Structure 1
Amino acid sequence: MSLDDIAKPAGYSIDVEPLTHPVRIWHNDILLVETTRARAMYETRLPTAIYVPREDIVVPLGPKTELQTFCPFKGTASYHDVLLDGKTIENGVWSYVSALPESKGIQGYVGFMPNAATRVDLGQNQLQTDRDGNITGPLVDWLMREAGTVPNPEEFTRAVATKMRENGIAVSRLAVLVWSLHPMIAGKNHIWRAETDEVQTFTPSYDIHQFPGFVNSPLQHVSNGLGGVRQRLGDTDEASRFPIMDDLRAEGATDYVAMPLPFSDGRTNVLTLTSDHPDGFTTENLGLVFECATVISRYYEVFMQRDNAQALLETYVGKRSGARVLGGEIRRGDGDEIDAAIMFCDLRGSTRLEQELPRDQYIALLNAFLEITSTVVDAHGGEVLKFIGDAVLAVFPAGEDAAAACASALDAARAVVAQVAEDEVTAQTSCAIGIAFGRVTYGNIGSSTRLDFTVIGLAANVAARLCDAGKSHGHAIMVTDEVAATQTGLADLGSLELRGVSDPVRAFGDRS
């Protein structure tokens, strides 16, 4: 069944009709316009709008202001102030200088905002009163009843496109750009194509804002709050403002629209629709999408809030810990007892360096050290739990293989020492590392309103004390006998008295 065969429900409509009798518009007792050429615009679910020729306005208007708004079937509206004696009504009128085909009847005409037109005298003109204000159909029904069960934005994007087509909207490509709160990813761009019925998701970095393909694109235009974009691509004589239009036209597209998807926090995301139908999008098509845009936007906001929460938790507490928090372990005392190798890594000479180096150089040194440590720990299957000033606390859960966890922790420690010595920024310093193995509590501690997801136990304390002891014993890495049991290249240092640890600890130092 083709899209043309689908019975279309009563939908959004827009009509422009002339008013043949005089119309007068007032601001209190000041006459703003008197005309016999007014036109009435009837639009689904909106009050009838009265438009008048600009030359019939009898009060001065200011120059075009910065405000712009977008309608997918009228175009981009520009605004002017209304200048009265001793009073300025900001953005009091709007007009569509280049109206879209559905609204050519009001091109160049002017509409008055309610705070400017306090009284409209229609005289003998009669307005229509039987306009249908109901919109329904597969898309609306699905959004209201079933969309909430869709588990992720990819499936939601595909379902939105499918429901639009079931509603008679000839969309061949649908894309949604949603901005994120992620330290590395600027946002997510979900793109659906009818030819494959699949969704591709791209995660551009913040470099996108310097990328020419984005800077000169409808996505940038809409994201910057400059209104939407509409272009009929079947008209090859119409100049393309954006290079993407020529690319889509070459692929057989006939119509394109980009409209804002606002989030509740003020961020402006972007929905784009492309059609390859000979007639492109109808007024009913775009009216339905425009009506549903706010609801569609809320679903993407929920998805992105979930992604943002996960990204922020992973950024600040680590991937495993973040997953546990998202999984509901958010109360004080929530956690597990696990066997793990605990690594404590400290930057040597940091106090001296902080005093000797300019602040920006010291921060760069500290960031380089933390970056090396985090990357190495992740690569060896561990997780950085926290940064403590210039120190790093990491955990390597044992699961069923304690020896593997100890080996991973020691391999990671050796890699950190080597990379710190080789890195151009950190080569001026060095680090000390302590590793211990044992049973620790992995979970939430803190007050009733401020929690910390961490590890508590003797192994964590011993790892920190071994790190300190390494500085005085001349070893970059010191480990307990449990860690050293199956490893080579370690020097037996005997039993050591460690500050804050009641019993002596048999320690081994790395010879490398």
Structure 2
Amino acid sequence: MKEHWQGDSRDALLSWLMAGVREELGVEQIFLQLCNRLVACGIDLSRASLHFRVHHPQWLGTRIIWSRGQPALDVQTVAYEVEATDTFRKSPFQIVFTTGSEVRQDLRMCGPLRFALYEELRQEGHTDYTAWPIEHTQGKRHLVTFATDRASGFSDGEIALIREVLPLFSLVSEIRIKNQLARTLLQTYVGPHASEQILDGATTRGSGVSLNAAIMICDLRGFTRLSDRRSRDDVISILNQYFDAITGPIEKYGGEILKFIGDGLLAVFPLEQPEACENLLRAVSEAQDAIAASQLGHELRYGTGIHVGEVMYGNIGSQKRLDFTVIGPAVNLASRLENLTKELQRPVLISSEFVKRAGCADRTKCMGLHNLKGFEDAVEVHALCSPRRP
């Protein structure tokens, strides 16, 4: 018998998926509307979930849960470790991800059910559950689930409608998820500001803007010796702990990390931000405290050069391989100050221009004039007071 859909809402649902989601940028809102429109078709949904992978550096993917009567979606991140857990291995998710098959379970059955998830759903009052693969190009597979608490469960016609709808949902979700993946990858590898510039079309070699910024360049000391004494995995772990200690405060106070250079990094604090110079000093101070408090505090030595000035911020490189970074005399001077920390045995050296701009003379000690490579005039150099060990 042919299912009767309320007010031709089936056709409206399919039309919406084909032409009505153009302005929706995120998959979350599309999924929310999909669930609401399935309810409008007469399907008595009580719960639905969407699981997709974005490969963020901190988590594997995202889980979105829709529940009837809730005003908003429940959006959760999923750790990389989840797929190694018994909870995942003994779940319908593992079957769908591995085989690409649909899974359906009548939750009204007497006795124990196959998976713990089924037991949880039954206890919540759901009667019927189904999980489906969301197939994207290049073999990428995601997952969507639907549940009802209607006494009779889903009808065959409702399952057929969901099956009809999902290929269209797969198309529109792939575009949004890949956009999110591209944004995530760019933010991971070039930083939030640079990633937005690139996504806005700044991909031509030489394109860029002039930027007034406070600049910091950090570098580890004795890294070659450290590498010789430790295994490869230990060295990578030490580097990651070191960068965690430094980058956390930089990001906290509005700085942008533009480049990791082996065991060093380059970061800027745009002067358009309030208290940019002061925020840089706060970041340096908190990074010092974090390193000193860590297990590595007794063996890590580092140097930081700080300056302020105008830089060129944009695309530099060859015709086919570009780097979005900052260049200019101000960056060079910060680099020379970082190198000078070895000679003066001070972990943080600051230019007089930065000291004047930040108004931090009471927190520094003047180390005199120094001739720096590439600069005709001697540069007045200051050391940050109460420094950690160089």
Normalised to the residue count of structure 2, the TM-score between the two structures is 0.91
1:315-464 alignment runs, 5 A limit? 315-399=188-272, 401=274, 404-464=275-335
Match of residue 342 from structure 2? 471
> More helix by proportion, 1 or 2?
2
Q: Is the contact made by 1:489 and 1:510 (CA closer than 8 Å) also made in structure 2?
A: yes
Q: What is the CA–CA distance in structure 2 between the aligned matches of 1:201 and 1:221, rounded to whole Å?
A: 23
1:201-216 alignment runs, 5 A limit? 201-216=75-90
Q: What is the CA–CA distance in structure 2 between the aligned matches of 1:360 and 1:347, rounded to whole Å?
A: 18
Match of residue 122 from structure 2? 249
**Structure 1 position 8, deviation (Å):** 5.9
- Cα root mean square deviation, aligned: 2.1
Match of residue 276 from structure 1? 149
Mind listing any 5+ residue stretches in structure 2 that lack a counterpart? none
> Which of 362, 365, 374 pairs up with 1:491?
365
Q: Is the contact made by 1:157 and 1:199 (CA closer than 8 Å) also made in structure 2?
A: no
> Which entry has the higher C-alpha Rg, 1 or 2?
1
Cα 1:172–1:406, aligned 2, differ >3 Å: closer, same or farther? same
Q: What is the CA–CA distance in structure 1 between the aligned matches of 2:273 and 2:110, rounded to whole Å?
A: 70
Mind listing any 5+ residue stretches in structure 1 that lack a counterpart? 10-135
Q: What is the CA–CA distance in structure 1 between the aligned matches of 2:5 and 2:198, rounded to whole Å?
A: 50
**Structure 1 position 450, deviation (Å):** 1.2
Q: Is the contact made by 2:52 and 2:63 (CA closer than 8 Å) also made in structure 1?
A: yes
Q: State percent identity of aligned pairs.
A: 33
Q: What is the CA–CA distance in structure 2 between the aligned matches of 1:322 and 1:442, rounded to whole Å?
A: 13
* SS of residue matched to 2:154: coil
Q: Is the contact made by 1:441 and 1:457 (CA closer than 8 Å) also made in structure 2?
A: yes
1:169-184 alignment runs, 5 A limit? 169-184=43-58
Count of aligned residue pairs for this structure pair: 381
Q: What is the CA–CA distance in structure 2 between the aligned matches of 1:320 and 1:356, rounded to whole Å?
A: 38
Q: Is the contact made by 2:112 and 2:119 (CA closer than 8 Å) also made in structure 1?
A: no
**Structure 1 position 484, deviation (Å):** 1.5
**Structure 1 position 228, deviation (Å):** 2.2
* SS of residue matched to 1:240: coil
Q: Is the contact made by 1:8 and 1:168 (CA closer than 8 Å) also made in structure 2?
A: no
Once the two structures are superposed, residues 265-311 of structure 1 have per-residue CA deviations (whole angstroms, 9 ceiling, x without a partner) of 21221111111223322222111211222221122222221121111
Match of residue 225 from structure 1? 99
Q: Is the contact made by 2:105 and 2:128 (CA closer than 8 Å) also made in structure 1?
A: yes
Q: What is the CA–CA distance in structure 2 between the aligned matches of 1:433 and 1:415, rounded to whole Å?
A: 13
Once the two structures are superposed, residues 112-161 of structure 1 have per-residue CA deviations (whole angstroms, 9 ceiling, x without a partner) of xxxxxxxxxxxxxxxxxxxxxxxx62221111121232221221011111
Choose 300-309 or 461-470, whichever is displaced more: 300-309
> Which of 172, 186, 191 pairs up with 1:299?
172
Cα 1:498–1:204, aligned 2, differ >3 Å: closer, same or farther? same
Once the two structures are superposed, residues 294-332 of structure 1 have per-residue CA deviations (whole angstroms, 9 ceiling, x without a partner) of 221122222221121111111111122112222222222
Q: What is the CA–CA distance in structure 2 between the aligned matches of 1:426 and 1:354, rounded to whole Å?
A: 16
Q: What is the CA–CA distance in structure 2 between the aligned matches of 1:409 and 1:183, rounded to whole Å?
A: 25
Q: Is the contact made by 2:5 and 2:41 (CA closer than 8 Å) also made in structure 1?
A: no
Cα 1:417–1:196, aligned 2, differ >3 Å: closer, same or farther? closer
Q: Is the contact made by 1:410 and 1:435 (CA closer than 8 Å) also made in structure 2?
A: no
> More strand by proportion, 1 or 2?
1
